[in-house]
Amino acid sequence: MQKFKTLAKALTGKTVTAGRNSSGRITSFHRGGGSKQSLRDVDLKRNTCSVGVVERIEYDPNRSSRIALLRWIEGVPQKDAAYKAERAPVNYIIASHQMEPGSMVVNSDSSKPSTTGSLMRPAHNADSFLRFQELFRKASQEGEEEGADDQAAKDAAVTTAAPLMPADLLDLNSKVGNCMPLSDIRMGTWVHSIELRHGQGAKLVRAAGAYAKVVKESATQCLVRLPSGVEKVIDSRCRATIGIVSNPTHGARKLRKAGHSRWLGRRPTVRGVAMNPVDHPHGGGEGRTKGGRPSVSPWGKPTKAGYRTVPKKPKAQLSRD
């Protein structure tokens, strides 16, 4: 993945609290320091019926997945009537796995018709996409040095777009990165960035490599199997993105040295048995001992095979029409 300069208008300052609350007490331990970071303004709602092209894939220090910079070519008001590629509206979204620069992405909503034409009309979309491809190539050539003799090297430096396939326009479920309501997604499809409530924005399945599966659909509700294995009933109007979240190898990475953890804002963790009795229930004693009691937290609560965060409940049954 190449390094790019982040979009300046999408950056917001980030305050480091080092795990302290408003009273100055540590409520989240082992946090502090780290490299300076800025928040990226990521579009989690994607509630405009529009068509865009992926310009590049970027690193985001605030999340485990990658983000994609989209340049919208249809369905979003243009600032310039001349329709110049470098002036088209742009924003960030959570990138899907196998999403590449130049690929087309669609935000579809059957309840909101497109302002510039139907997204299901192949001829109209093909003309817009091909027109944008030409403008995008010209914009990428502006930074090239004039008078280059090697035409082959110049063509290799130009950013090329993926070929336009008819299936991308006719079947929106087959294209990774498309966003649409759950009611429009086929059963068995892998999705991510799912809304919990209609119009709220993506809340579920946003971590790197995560995906959920659409299990069952009805008129008003949809049954989705989350990465934890829990099956949750969600409103069919809630939006989701086709595919898997990008950077699936995030969990397999290895930190090169202890300082790498400090760069990420993680402070050292001290074992309870290495403390004094005044600091931890496991502290003190001659040699390594926990005092003959099960493993507990500094406040005396059990930690091994701890409390379940999701209680076991019978699977929700969708009402049959």
Residue spans of the domains in the chain: they are: 8-251
Task: Calculate mean pLDDT across residues 16-28.
Answer: 90
**CB contact at 8 A, 187 and 215:** yes
Task: Tell which wins on pLDDT, 194 or 128.
Answer: 194
**CB contact at 8 A, 202 and 212:** no
Q: 266-286 pLDDT, tens per residue?
A: 999 998 888 999 999 888 888
Residue 166 carries which DSSP code? H
Task: Tell which wins on pLDDT, 309 or 40.
Answer: 40
At 76 the pLDDT is 59
At 122 the pLDDT is 38
Q: How confident is the model at residue 75 (pLDDT cuts 50, 70, 90)?
A: low
Phi and psi based region of residue 309 (left: phi greater than 0; alpha: psi -120 to 50; beta: remaining): alpha
Evaluate if residue 311 carries a pLDDT over 90: no
Q: How many CB atoms lie within 10 A of CB 102?
A: 15
At 23 the pLDDT is 93
Average pLDDT of the chain? 77
Alpha-helical runs (H) found in 55-150: 122-140
Token pair recorded at residue 34? 């780290």
Task: Tell which wins on pLDDT, 240 or 301.
Answer: 240
Task: Calculate mean pLDDT across residues 133-159.
Answer: 47
Reported pTM: 0.70
Task: Calculate mean pLDDT across residues 301-320.
Answer: 62
Evaluate if residue 83 carries a pLDDT over 50: no
Q: At 170, phi and psi to the nearest 5?
A: -85, -40
Rounded to a whole number of angstroms, the CA Rg of the chain reads 25
Percent over 70 (pLDDT), the chain: 68
- Report the alpha-carbon distance of residue 29 to residue 26 in Å, rounded: 6
Q: How confident is the model at residue 287 (pLDDT cuts 50, 70, 90)?
A: confident
- Report the alpha-carbon distance of residue 264 to residue 168 in Å, rounded: 39
- Report the alpha-carbon distance of residue 250 to residue 86 in Å, rounded: 33
**CB contact at 8 A, 107 and 45:** no
At 175 the pLDDT is 84
- Report the alpha-carbon distance of residue 162 to residue 101 in Å, rounded: 8
At 146 the pLDDT is 43
At 133 the pLDDT is 52
Q: What's the CATH code, domain 8-251?
A: 2.40.50.140
